[in-house]
Chains A and B, each alone.
Chain A
Amino acid sequence: MTNVMIDTGNYIAAKAAVMAKPDVVAAYPITPQTTLVEGIANYHDSGEFKGDYICVESEHSAMAACIGASSTGVRTFTGTSSHGLLLMHEMLHWAALARLPVIMCNINRVIGPGWNIWADENDSISQRDTGWIQFYCSSNQEIFDTVIQAFKLGEHQDVSLPVMISYNAFILSHTSMPVYIPEQKDIDEFLPKRVPTWNLDVDNPITFGNIILPSEYEKVRLEMQKSQENAKKLIPKISKEWKKKFGRFHGDLIEYYKCDDVDYVLLSMGAIGAESKVAIDNLQKAGVKIGLARVRTFRPFPEEEILELSKKADLIVIDRNISVGLGGALFNEIKGKLYGKSDANVHGFIAGLGGKDVVFTDIEIMCKKAIKGKAKDHQVWYGLEEV
């Protein structure tokens, strides 16, 4: 029996987190994440969430508490957004270098000043070098399914890294959609209890996080890199198992949408990724040979998949972020990975910063401009620069 729950992205994420049975949740509220942690608090009050809920005084403390709990070998979860994520920055590195699979939802929100609570991916993109695995979701169902799968991935012996599940502020966090909720026993079967790769234990005393010499530290970094590579292989395995058990699939590192026999492939993430499907439908109806590759994981970066796409089509990239002084992160990372391996043109757009709405008609306009060669090998600020 499967139940359908109609609710917002945050309440769906809360439901998923509770069904994954974390032992500890430590969180601090911030718009637009607030209802996520309120949701978990409600489940704690009703008894559905049986773990410990730690109310902390800041996001830095929230992540520190999760690290502390996780290092005893138990399952941990938290959620944050924007400035909260930035306040965690030091602890994000800490969790990843300690190889602790803390699972966290981040609701992509603008960074201030000026004060703005709408969707923008600069918060999580600016955490890309922390060692966390990063997923970007484009529907509430994907949020639910990805949260459960993230525990399995992060806690896997070959990965042992924290996982961040990002979704856009309000467009998903506060929008209700119907979501299939599996039975608890089926979730339990899919996601058994965590087996830690190391843990603090009074019967087997160890010291953690003390001095490490340069040659040893370098090996730690190499192992982290290898674990991210391992995640590339595990993500498809886990999503396949999920599909077999629950019948749903949102893609592996990338979700391909109508990508067969095309001259152009659009690459986008998050909410723009969902909106892009409508744009692709319309463009194909109008005879344009274009498909969509929605990037689900920014770390590990789907370089092999993108390289394959570039062999058969030119790429159009939309970034809802800006690495100031360089450009959009997705565009530049794709360009870097294709260098010397592919002759495909890469067309780029910056769009939707500060929560500016990007609807399917905008995406269609961007694709048409790209096809006309207006953004060839560079990025255009959609709506701000005339092309």
Chain B
Amino acid sequence: MENIVINIFNIVGSSFCVEADDGEKVYTLLKKAVENNKKVTLSFQNVEMLTSAFLNTAIGQIYRDFDEELIKKLLSVDNMLPEDKVLLKRVTKTAKLFYKNPERMLQSINKILGEE
């Protein structure tokens, strides 16, 4: 198979893709495909509602497990509304920062406490 299509609506079983747990179901499949070096298209056809919580687990955590260049080469999305793409872009940008510097969270707390 040239390109694997993951139909989000079917995996979640709802047009409301809002929960972190549902995102995990998507990520299990996505991870399997990328591990096997397969090109993957995430289809958002018939998806009506998305949250960052869903996209964090469905896609964001991929930056923990794989190299950014490999992700860029293998992943694409289809049938995604422009405003949902804005959200996804934000999720991927946050994920890259998060996994690049896991200490950032603690640093930001220390900053609030003046313990830098």
- Asked if A and B bind, the verdict is no
A residues at B contact (CB < 8 Å): none
